[in-house]
Amino acid sequence: MNYPLWDVPFIGGGWVIGMIAIFHVVISQFAVGGGLYLAMAEQKALREGRRDWLEVVKLHSRFFLILTAVFGTVSGVGIWFAIGLANPEATSTLIHNFVFGWAIEWVFFLVELATVAVYYYTWGRISDKLHLQVGWLYAGVSFFTLVIINGILSFKLTPGHAWLAVAGTGQEASRFWQAFFNPGYWPSFFLRIGICCSLAGLWAMVTCSRISDKTPQLKAEFIQWTAKWLLPLFIAMPLLFFWYLHQVPEAQRLLLKLGVSTVAPGLFTMVTRMVVVILVSSVTVVGVVYFSALRAPQDFKLPQAIVVVVLALCMVGSMEYVREMLRKPYIVVGHMYSNGVRVSAVDKFNKEGYLAHALWVRAGVAANMARGEAMYRGQCMPCHTLDGYRPTRQLLAGRDRAGIGNFLEVLRAHKPDSPYFAFMPQLVGTDEEIKDLGDYLATLKP
């Protein structure tokens, strides 16, 4: 608890991360699958002696370079900036535990940037064989960036018993490989490969739709080849997704089950809505690709391609949201709550005081309202806003001071039968701090 709160009005810091992350994920995963797409398309063109195909691949590599090297890089830096502000405790944990993993990933990333630039700017300047080798080199390097980053991202949901056994002891580095190849690594890895390759095909549809109508046969061939690339992936991904869910801890699947079970009574939670978006967007993409791209490629235009990409954005964004929600109430399951409180520190904070270990709180704060506000900012505002996303005032509506006190005691007890157990962290602090928090929350009631 050594960092101040980054207060983002209305949307909260979490959604700042989310908006940047969704944009970045759609591009970065395209960078992985797109490298494979470019190499395979160029190899097919060279094998069949199709110089017209090579012109299309060159056109697509320009689009690929701009999108991945410019927008992907900038958004990647934006994620680091945002997570460091919104959840510095979790960021610190990931950096300290995977410092060498991050270093390796950045080396691959730098090679990736250099290789994609060489690939585009050497069209016609080096031999076809060497140029294709550069393409395959890029595909391999970008693949290994996924190998590294997947271990770190999947760790947050399934850190594994081996790492959790030493968490907080200073011996975490001794369990590096167990944490990296955590229980969820392989399901997550193959699911991400499917998403990467799908996005490669979906973005390629943009280039395919721009092929001149003066070469209808070339346009039809490229669109149909890309459609055949896509359709098997959309068939395989549901199976990979269910494999992924099978590896998710039962306690974390509870929130997903709760969300889906609300469909029948008509109580559409955010998880339910995201699941519906994933299903509807996926089915629509398959329909557009099959009936418009595969069956009638000559009529496939840029607007249809843009629709497909937007649907993919909705689908991937919804999947990322559900993946994030599955971790609730943790940011690292079993180790750190979403507000930065470590599970191992709960008893200490309850005994010694939460504010006693919050170095960002002004020394000598005595007024109960000031202490209550500090408690609210440290333990509530990482996930809630006053009137925007997850509004505190709406949560407090209809509760008097006694009701607020009872609500806080439920959060503090954090019992498995609590309706908030699955998605809200355990409230910590001394009796006096909890009372001060209740007094402060009473002033926020609508």
Q: What is the pLDDT of residues 176-190, one digit of tens each?
A: 999 999 999 999 999
State the burial class of residue 300 (Cβ atoms within 10 Å of its Cβ: 0-12, 13-18, 19+): buried
pLDDT band for position 266 (cuts 50, 70, 90) = low
Q: What average pLDDT score do residues 207-214 get?
A: 91
Whole-model pTM: value is: 0.90
Query: Which of the residue ranges 236-250, 253-267, 283-297 would you say has the lowest mean pLDDT?
Result: 253-267
What b-and-e string marks burial along 248-273, b requiring 16 or more CB atoms within 10 Å of the CB?
A: beeebebbbebbeeeeeeeeebebbe
Residues 6+ apart with CB under 8 A from 137: 115
Q: Are 361 and 431 in contact (CB under 8 A)?
A: no
Q: Minimum mean pLDDT among 14-23, 270-279, 322-331, 414-423: which range?
A: 270-279
pLDDT category of residue 267 using cuts at 50, 70 and 90: low
User: Bigger pLDDT: 226 or 419?
Assistant: 226
Residue showing tokens 């409180």: 341
DSSP state of 426: P
Angle formed by the axes of helices 99-121 and 12-48, to 10°?
A: 40
User: How far is Cα 85 from Cα 388, in angstroms, rounded to an integer?
Assistant: 19
Residue 7 vs residue 37, higher pLDDT:
37
For position 357, what pLDDT does the model report? 87
Separation in Å, CA 200 to CA 40, 353, 421: 12, 51, 39
Please indicate whether residue 253 or residue 197 has the higher confidence score (pLDDT).
197
DSSP state of 297: G
What lies within 8 Å, CB to CB, of 75 at 6+ separation is 20, 23, 24, 27, 28
Q: With both helix axes pointing from N to C terminus, report the angle between 185-209 and 12-48 in degrees, rounded to the nearest 10.
A: 70
SS3 call for 125: coil
Count of positions (residues) in the chain: 446
Overall average pLDDT of the 16-23 stretch: 88
Is the pLDDT at 239 greater than 90? The verdict is no
**Rounded distance, CA 70 to CA 211, Å?**
24
pLDDT value of residue 373: 92
CB-based burial label for 171 (10 Å; 0-12, 13-18, 19+): exposed
Share of the chain above pLDDT 70, in %: 95
Dihedral sign for Cα 22, 331, 77, 8, please.
Answer: positive
Give the confidence band of 2 by pLDDT, cuts at 50, 70, 90: low
Mean pLDDT of 432-446: 92
